[in-house]
Structure 1
């Protein structure tokens, strides 16, 4: 049976921190809000930004939404390309393609930005499915996004022996929690924006410190299936 592997984008495939944080600061400064310290700003990397503005800046929903739209002004033109692909990601994607995985992106970033970034870095050909957030339709949170991506991939989550066939790779607790809820094998990565402690608390089944370790996990799981 065909296996599925889903990747988060920010902090997993690409290091997008520079563009996101510059665009957050741009939006906050435009409306006269205090810019949080760097440690707090790291918490904006992963969750929906409307949620993060409310949680970390004390905004109402309406204020957070207004700030988010201002963020998009800069991010949509400049910030999305202040970004770089992590080392060895292309090799990992090529390996998954060769081994005939169905490969998907499942990101809380707006889908059109995700597609622009993947096109920019010439990664799009590796992916069978790309699903991101859609603010207008209300598709915002990781579980819903992952659920849609799995449906579009069209593969079973388990084989006839109950072995799981879908992997989710991500750097934040939101990725791990969604994967666990939906029956995927969760792989947390520490080279992105989450910490090992956060990933452990979310019950990641595997924690990888670099991209090569993700490939090792896939090889290990393949060996276990063949036993």
Structure 2
């Protein structure tokens, strides 16, 4: 018998929406401000998923905590103003979320992005009502640690499903005893995702509908 899920946890960037323009322009805003070379659009993809602090450290080669926090703060300055809105909802996502919401299974967002930014994006697309809560990250917080806190507090159980486009989502789920679904319309490759043996691998947003009968209490 197929496993049923009592909660669906969604990553945001690269899973629900495509954030590359807002993230990329805000990265360049911060880099330029502090005298670093900016990046072309095609070089922004690896920045989507990991915590920004780590990405700035890898790019600049600096370990100066204060400076790296300054870069993150400068990024957020532009992102809070306009970057969050330079975002595109993936085709078919609104319909898939509506179908999943109809099952009655609780849904939430678990993202490395700050929670207030994530909430504004959900409201921008008119889909915030589908999610019971938004769990956001911050500097030095890994996604698996976010999920561990949700487990410790009893907010989600081991029967929750994490849905995301990067290996960080798969790792976070498995380290906390959850199943994971990898999505291929975001920024993680098939090889990156399959290396972590997700329970589901979805190629297009319409395949989210296949999760409907697996949702506990589904009306379908």
Alpha-carbon offset, residue 222 of structure 1: 6.1
Out of 47, 53, 56, the residue aligned to residue 53 of structure 1 is 56
Which residue number corresponds to residue 118 of structure 2? 114
Q: Write out aligned runs for 1:186-197 (5 A).
A: 186-197=180-191
Equivalent residue number for residue 143 of structure 1: 144
Equivalence for 1:74: 78
Between the aligned partners of 1:153 and 1:215, the Cα distance in structure 2 is 27
How many residue pairs get aligned? The number is 212
Whether the 8 Å CA contact 2:7–2:105 is kept in 1: the answer is yes
Deviation at 1:218, TM superposition (A): 4.6
1:174 aligns with 2:168: yes
Is contact 2:170–2:193 with CA below 8 Å preserved after alignment? yes
CA contact (8 A) 1:130 1:149 kept: no
Secondary structure of the residue that 1:115 maps to in structure 2? helix
SS in 1 for 2:28: helix
1:91 positional shift:
1.6
Equivalent residue number for residue 192 of structure 2: 198
TM-score, normalised via structure 1 length: 0.85
Partners of 2:82 and 2:89 in 1: how far apart? 17
TM (norm. structure 2) is 0.88
Shift in CA distance, 62/183, structure 1 to aligned 2, threshold 3 Å: same
In structure 2, relative to structure 1, the CA distance for the partners of 1:216 and 1:31 (3 Å cut) is: same
3-state DSSP of counterpart to 2:111: strand
Q: Retained in 1: the 8 A contact 2:6–2:215?
A: no
Q: CA deviation at 1:2?
A: 7.0
Which has the larger displacement, 48-57 or 146-155?
146-155
In structure 2, the CA distance between the partners of 1:26 and 1:184, relative to structure 1 (3 Å rule), is same
Q: Tell me by how many angstroms 1:38 deviates.
A: 4.7
Native 8 Å contact 1:42 1:193 kept in 2: yes
Q: For 1:130 and 1:222, how far apart are their aligned partners in 2?
A: 20
- Say which of 203, 208, 220 aligns to 1:209: 203
Any gaps of 5 or more consecutive residues in structure 2? none
Counterparts in 2 of 1:177 and 1:218: CA distance versus 1, 3 Å: farther
1:170 touches 1:188 (CA, 8 Å); kept in 2? Answer: yes
User: CA separation of 1:97/1:120 partners in 2, compared to 1, >3 Å: closer, same or farther?
Assistant: same
Q: CA RMSD in A?
A: 2.2
